[in-house]
Amino acid sequence: MRLVLLGAPGSGKGTQAARLKEYLQVPHISTGDLLRAEVAAGSALGLQAKEVMARGDLVSDEILLGMLRDRFSREDTKAGFILDGYPRNLAQAAALDELLRSLGQKFDAAVQLAVDNEQIVERLAGRAQAEGRADDAPEAVRKRLQVYDQQTAPVIEFYRQHGQLTVVEGVGTLDEVFTRIVEAIAPEKAVG
């Protein structure tokens, strides 16, 4: 199963991706982790990315797509993957679609974890206090949510128009949210 997890910062994507990885027995691919691993490995794309990041610029879609192409060609992704952190905009969504088509891989679903913005602010404020994370302070979270709404939310509409979007309520216990996701994407394998 090839999935993209969508949702605002703090919606639980990373937490649920880790659980889905074990359940579906496919890798969880976070583009941030992938980028750091390529830089650390000193790959050609990693060296390009390192140079861009050293200038304080964002890594181009072309470099990220190249890293994803390499990652999707590995044996452990043959049965699928869970993609977290990509696509973040419409151009990336279209590029991912084209990449999978060129690799002869079928895209299964985009799962949006729907959580109200004020619940996210509360959720992340608790994490900020517990972990001392400045990026989770309420003002910073509201800014990140604004950026998300402007840039990433249109990706949700992209997948809706392609009939590939599943919206799951992201509020509740970890088990409740996980069960909702599994029931939505693989009802024949549902846990609950």
Q: Looking at 50, 88, 142, 160, which residue is catalytic?
A: 88
- Per-residue buried b or exposed e for 111-150, using 16+ beta carbons within 10 Å of the residue's own CB: bbbebebeebbebbeeebeeeeeeebeeebbeebbeebee
CB 111 within 8 A of CB 184: yes
Round to whole Å and give the CA distance between 124 and 7.
14
Q: Looking at 13, 19, 71, 180, which residue is catalytic?
A: 13
Q: Looking at 50, 127, 142, 160, which residue is catalytic?
A: 127
For the chain, first and last CA: distance in Å?
20
| Active site annotation includes 160 | no
Please name which of 11, 33, 8 lies closest in space to residue 151, comparing C-alpha atoms. Answer: 8
Round to whole Å and give the CA distance between 158 and 173.
29
Please name which of 2, 144, 17 lies closest in space to residue 76, comparing C-alpha atoms. Answer: 2
| Active site annotation includes 127 | yes
| Active site annotation includes 19 | no
Helix axes 153-161, 138-151, angle to 10 degrees: 40
| Active site annotation includes 88 | yes
| Active site annotation includes 74 | no
CB 100 within 8 A of CB 2: yes
Catalytic residue set: 13, 88, 127, 133, 144
